[in-house]
Amino acid sequence: MRTTILIVDDDSKILTTLSQQLTAFGYLSREAPDGTTADKLVKSDEIQLILLDLALPDTNGVELLRAWRRNDMTTPVIVISGTATIPDAVEAMKQGASDFLVKPIDMQILEAVVKRTLTAHRMGIENRRLRKLTGVDSVDFVGESPSVKALLNDAAKIAAGDSAVLLEGETGTGKQVLARYIHAHSPRREEPFVTVNCAAITETLFESELFGHEKGAFTGAFNRKPGKLELVGEGTLFLDEIGELPVLCQAKLLTAIEDRVFERVGGTRTLEFSGRVIAATNRDISTEIKEGRFRKDLYYRLSTFHLRLPPLRERPEDIPVYVKWATEMYGRRRGMEIRFPNEKITEKLSQYPWPGNVRELMHHIERIALLADGSDIKSSLWLSFPSQVSEVEDNVEEDLRTALDNYKKKHITRIVSICGGNQTEAAKRLGIERTHLNRLLAEYEGRRR
């Protein structure tokens, strides 16, 4: 089937010339002398590409393009103009134009740009189809409790806008998952989702990481490097653990996201920041502000919308939901069926407080999937977490050495779970060498090193 291209221009001669040329290229063409006619054709016809003039008798081409994008029209648009300035071209590209051509149009260039735009659009459609089939783009915040349903309802409403969002919650509650959920349900879903781990940024590297740097800006800057604010484009910038960011860096971040402009380190050209900001923290920001560790003005800038993620212990009814979801996922990865635990085990799993929240539960089930010999999992393996709830009550007659060994085992495995299985971090918290921790875990799991 031949591709149909809509030409929108108030000059009848240009309409005729472009229509004849597109026909010679092998395309079908439709013509619109104004925005109203173009809008009707876009809504009623199967248009695969639009050539859009900026100067129309009843509207501005950029405004028309903006309205189409607001209505989720994904048809590629090539803007054409004989009077437009560079700011006009920049604004058209910001609103989603695929390219910009200046009149009088060179027909060889037109043919090349049309082919390139149509090919890129088809590839984008195919990529999205494949990502959907493979589940790469699926972003699910699992849970059926009233608190999770209310949270996702608010998140879906917030996703439609562009305002900053602050997510607060304990470690492991799924703040990054919720941030991706908001991005995936927003008009920016096809744009990048760029994460900045604020806990890992030092003051000396902050500007280079966020703003980028020019070649030769400092010792070791051998090439130009774009920063996160540049890489995000029209997408979403996720500032993870924003409460860990040094105060000096907070001031520079505030200036950039408030003024929407920045410069690379060592550069002189002003660049525009067009992304949306979502920040997350496991700290109590109000306390951080009182103690002078977090800027009040940055908090106000980031918390246009404020969502709190409830810890898993506040919604135990979600634990069986997570267990079912995780057993199916890890079972598929291992090519085996992991049977859902019986009611007695499920009840005990729901009674455990899960101090590491969803992350701890996920790692617990992943560990079960790796250690299981078959689809039937022993109850001792299901309940092999440090807990006040266990299949066998503590033996009050055990001697002191046994009691201390049992407590040591529970404490160590609990810290490992809280650290998400990261033995280096766990060893640091426990104050022991990583090799020593590895040896103890091997002993607890009955494995040979």
Report the Cα–Cα distance between both ends of the chain, in Å, rounded: 64
- Are residues 121 and 13 part of one domain? yes
- Are residues 157 and 114 part of one domain? no
Tell me if 359 is assigned to some domain. yes
Q: In what order do the strands lie in the sheet with 99-102?
A: 28-32, 4-8, 49-53, 77-81, 99-102
- Are residues 371 and 320 part of one domain? yes
Tell me if 361 is assigned to some domain. yes
- Are residues 213 and 345 part of one domain? no
Residue 179 · residue 238 · CB < 8 Å: yes
The answer to whether the peptide bond before residue 355 is cis (omega within 30 degrees of 0) is no
Residue after which a domain boundary falls, among 310, 332, 351:
310
Tell me if 230 is assigned to some domain. yes
Tell me if 248 is assigned to some domain. yes
- Are residues 416 and 279 part of one domain? no
- What is the chain's percent helix, strand, coil content, to nearest 5? 50, 15, 35
- Are residues 427 and 325 part of one domain? yes
Residue after which a domain boundary falls, among 285, 310, 335:
310
- Are residues 235 and 195 part of one domain? yes
Residue after which a domain boundary falls, among 288, 310, 332:
310
Indicate the residue type of 23. T
What's the rounded Cα separation, in Å, for the pair 418 and 422?
9
Quote the DSSP letter at residue 233.
T
State the pLDDT at residue 392.
37
Mean pLDDT, each 10-residue run in order, the chain (449 residues): 90 94 93 94 86 91 88 88 72 83 89 89 66 50 92 94 95 93 91 89 86 87 86 93 91 94 90 94 92 94 95 94 90 83 91 90 87 78 63 47 75 77 80 82 62
Helices 434-444 and 400-418 cross at an angle (nearest 10°) of 110
- Are residues 300 and 152 part of one domain? yes
Whichever domain contains 79, its CATH number is 3.40.50.2300
Whichever domain contains 269, its CATH number is 3.40.50.300
The H-assigned helical ranges of 143-284 are 146-159, 175-184, 203-211, 228-231, 247-259
Q: Domain of 107?
A: 4-133
Tell me if 120 is assigned to some domain. yes
Tell me if 449 is assigned to some domain. no
Whichever domain contains 385, its CATH number is 1.10.8.60
Phi, psi angle pair for 281, to nearest 5°: -155, 150
What pairing do the DSSP bridges indicate for beta strands 225-226 and 212-213?
antiparallel
- Are residues 169 and 67 part of one domain? no
How is 95-147 classified by DSSP, letter by letter? TT-SEEEESSPPHHHHHHHHHHHHHHHHHHHHHHHHHHHHTTT-------SHH
- Give the bridge partners for 238, in sequence order: 195, 278
- Are residues 29 and 121 part of one domain? yes
- Are residues 321 and 303 part of one domain? no
Tell me if 139 is assigned to some domain. no
Helix (H, G, I), strand (E, B) or coil at 431: coil
Domain total in the chain: 3
State the pLDDT at residue 445.
65
Residue 131 · residue 271 · CB < 8 Å: no
Tell me if 140 is assigned to some domain. no
**Considering only CA atoms, which of 253, 328, 243 is closest in space to residue 287?**
243
- Give the bridge partners for 237, in sequence order: 194, 277
- Are residues 157 and 283 part of one domain? yes
Please state whether the predicted TM-score (pTM) of the whole model is above 0.75: no
